[in-house]
Amino acid sequence: MSGATGGALAAAIAAKRRRERMLKEENVMTKYNSDDLNGWEFKIVRSAFGSFRNLEKVQQLCTEEALSGWEMIEKFDNERIRFKRRVTMRSQDSLAETDPYRTDLGFSKERVKKLLLGGLFVLGGAILLYLQFADRM
């Protein structure tokens, strides 16, 4: 296994572990009792690039989500914000300008990973081609 491939594999494993840790944390932080769930629905919006460190981005997201009836409950960190809304607001979903059930702002982490891995493979291929032809010069 080359250094680049090993590094990519280590990064993928670390990212998977981080994602699992975040999901476990969310499950602990978002425990609901029956009264909490009665008439409400919940979602977590994620930002792959930590956009929620920027107050203007948070305010913009909250404004957009409010159009579909979503209320911010809490900001977990710079990557995750939890929202709730009344189930009755579903009847207004067809009027929404954005997907009322979106859970990613911008690129999802999965898409970013795919783009990065694709870029690594292209870079690795380019390096191999260069090394193969550099010997012939």
Locate 117 and state its tokens: 């891995």
Q: What is the pLDDT of residue 72?
A: 97
For residue 133, pLDDT beyond 80: no
Lowest mean pLDDT among 52-61, 95-104, 105-114: 105-114
Q: What is the 3-state secondary structure (H, E, C) of the chain?
A: CCHHHHHHHHHHHHHHHHHHHHHHHHHHHCCCCHHHHCCEEEEEEEECCCHHHCHHHHHHHHHHHHCCCCEEEEEEECCEEEEEEEHHHHHHHHHCCCCCCCCEECCCHHHHHHHHHHHHHHHHHHHHHHHHHHCCC
The whole-number pLDDT of residue 116 equals 62
pTM: 0.64
Query: pLDDT (tens digit, 9 = 90+) per residue, 114-129?
Result: 656 666 667 776 777 7
pLDDT of 83: 96
Q: How does residue 1 score in pLDDT terms, banded at 50, 70 and 90? A: low
Which of the two residues, 79 and 109, has the higher pLDDT score? 79
What are the residue boundaries of the structural domains of the chain, listed by start? 32-106
How far is it, in rounded angstroms, from Cα 72 to Cα 39? 16
Residue 79 has pLDDT above 60, yes or no: yes
With beta carbons less than 8 A apart as the criterion, state whether 30 and 42 touch: yes
- Residue 43's closest CA among 18, 17, 78, 68? 68
**How is residue 6 written in tokens?**
């090993």
Q: Per-residue pLDDT tens for 36-61?
A: 789 999 999 999 889 999 999 999 99
Q: Residue 28 pLDDT more than 80?
A: no
Q: Name the residue with higher pLDDT: 23 or 65.
A: 65
